[in-house]
Each structure stands twice: as C-alpha cells, then as structure tokens.
Structure 1
Amino acid sequence: MDWLSEHLWSMWLTLAVVLGVAELLSLDLVLIMLAVGALAGMVTAFVGAPLAVQIIVATGASAAMLALVRPSVVRKLHRGPELSLGHGKLVGRQGVVTAAITAGEPGRIRIDGEIWSATPFDETEAIAEGATVEIFEIRGATAVVHPMPSVED
C-alpha cells in the first residue's frame, strides 16, 4: 500500500492519458477537460498532498474547465467563415457613378466592372457623374447609394 500512495501520481497520469485517448474517439471536448482535471490531480499527488485534496483539486479543475473553457472553445470551433453571397456582398462596397443619379431618375454606377442602376439613399440628393459612392443596400437590381466625402469638400 505504501508503494501505491507514493506513486498515486502515476495513476492520475494514466487516467489523464486514457481520457485523452477516449476524447479522440468522442470529439465532444468533455473528456479532454476531465483529463486536464486528472493532470491537476497528478500535480497535487506529485507534491505529496493527501488523496482527499487530490480528488478535490481534480474535481475543481475539471468543473472549471467544463464551465469556463469548453463553451468558448466549442463556439470558436463551430463558427465558420463569414460568407457574403449574391447581392449582399456588394453592400458596403464603393462604386463610381457613370450616369448622374437623382431621386426622380435612377442613374448608373460601376462596381467591380459591372454596371448597376442606382438611386440615392437621400431622395433629395443628386449625385454627379464621376462621384464615388458607397452602396447601402440592394433593392432588386438597383443599388441604393450615398456619395463618399472627397478631400476637396
């Protein structure tokens, strides 16, 4: 029994390894958090703390990992790249007016080599040809735009 109490750290290490291998099969990020707790128990056993303290430390470390670390790791792993598809990818982009834009008469803008019909965001505003505009939204096949401030203004 003396040998076991002196080498209890190796039991904790074995438990951590077994939990780590089992995590490779489950991929739920639960068993790896428990393995970290087992490693904390191993450290306290290596220092020479009593078995009760080792169990408390291992349980506390496992609970902390499950409550504090796992949710953020899972969130980061499940979040994919932000994809802008279709007309939505044009919102926020800049274009150049190729035909004057007024509220009563839609004009034209060039964005990425394509010509789009455009109306002003502010219906009282007229935007001259050659002005740089920002696309606020796409309504059907028409871009709703606002002029970008220039250095001369």
Structure 2
Amino acid sequence: MTAFIADYGWIAWLVVILLFITIEIATLELTFLMLAIGSVGGLISGFLGAPWWLQLVIAAILAVVLLFGIKPPLLRALKQGGDPARSNVEALLGMGGRVVQSIGATGGQVRLDNGETWTARLSPGIVAQVVEPGEHVLVAAVDGATVMVIPNERTPL
C-alpha cells in the first residue's frame, strides 16, 4: 500500500488542489487558495521524494502559515482600494431634500436631492413643529422606509 501511495500520491494532490481552487473560485475568501498552495507544497515535496506522512505535514504547516501569516495582510491590502462612495442608507444621511407634503406630528413626505420621494418624520430631537411644502430639510436618520429629517436653513425654492 505504501508503494502505491508513493507512486500515485501526486494524483491525489492534484485532485485536492483542483478541488480547493474550485471552491475558492466559488467563495472568493482566499481560505481555500491558501489550502491549495499548501497542497502544492505537499505535491512538490512528494516529487522530491518525501514520504507520504511528511508530505501531509509539509502541506499542513504551509497552509497554516499562509492562513494566519499571509491571508490577513493580503485581505487588508485588497480592501484598501475599495470604493469610497457611500451607498444604500449611508448615502441618504446628510442628503438634502424638499418637503412635498407637510411634516407634522403624523409625518409627511419629502423629495430628496437624488429624486426619490420618502415618507418623512421630524427627527426626535426637533421641537414639535410643522414643516410646510417647499421647505428644505436634511436627512438625519433612516428608520425602515421613513427618513428622519431636520429643517434646513436654506431658503425655499
């Protein structure tokens, strides 16, 4: 059995490497890439004549070193070039808008500067008042499908 593993172990390494690369392509988290590179180390050690148990040890050590030594700084480097643009709810915070339907105790509607119309309520820190149509507001928070707004000092259009 040992002679069989020594003669055909490289095939098992190739299968494992291809399996790890396939999983990495599906997940894109670099974990299986590190395991595949560790398996390449095991394959190379097998070609250099190492016994099967030493191949496994070399593959495991190389994979652990890569997972804990290379993967974290690599992920940080990849995330540095991320898109700085805010999106979703974050993009709405601080955005201006104009009141379409009076905002009072029960709420109203605003048309934001991006063209979207939202149900609106006054932010909890604002003294109870009515904001009339045409007045400018700023988005302070988003609560589900409702924006919490504060009156803006700009003159109405």
TM-score by length of 2: 0.49
- Partner residue in 2 for 1:77: 78
Offset, 1:11: 1.0
Alignment of 1:46-57 (within 5 A): 46-57=47-58
- Structure 1 residues not aligned, in runs of 5+: 84-153
Matched residue type, 2:59: A
Distance 2:13 2:28 in 1: 21
Q: Alpha-carbon deviations, 1:42-93, whole Å to 9, x = none?
A: 011111111111111000100111111101110011113696xxxxxxxxxx
Offset, 1:10: 1.9
> What SS does structure 1 have at the residue aligned with 2:29?
coil
Alignment of 1:2-151 (within 5 A): 2-80=3-81
Offset, 1:4: 3.5
- Structure 2 residues not aligned, in runs of 5+: 85-157
Matched residue type, 1:27: L
Note closer, same or farther for the CA distance 1:62–1:6 as it changes in structure 2 (3 Å cut): same
- Partner residue in 2 for 1:130: none
> What SS does structure 2 have at the residue aligned with 1:16?
helix
> What SS does structure 2 have at the residue aligned with 1:19?
helix
RMSD (Å), alpha carbons: 1.9
Q: Which has the larger radius of gyration?
A: 1
**Count of residues in Structure 1 that have an aligned counterpart in Structure 2:** 84
Distance 1:32 1:61 in 2: 12
> What SS does structure 2 have at the residue aligned with 1:28?
coil
* Sequence identity percentage: 28
Q: Alpha-carbon deviations, 1:91-110, whole Å to 9, x = none?
A: xxxxxxxxxxxxxxxxxxxx
Give the 4+ runs in structure 1 shifted more than 6 A: none
Matched residue type, 1:39: V
Distance 1:69 1:35 in 2: 14
Distance 2:37 2:83 in 1: 32
Distance 1:81 1:55 in 2: 37
Distance 1:24 1:81 in 2: 20
Note closer, same or farther for the CA distance 1:38–1:81 as it changes in structure 2 (3 Å cut): closer
Distance 2:52 2:46 in 1: 7
Distance 1:54 1:5 in 2: 10
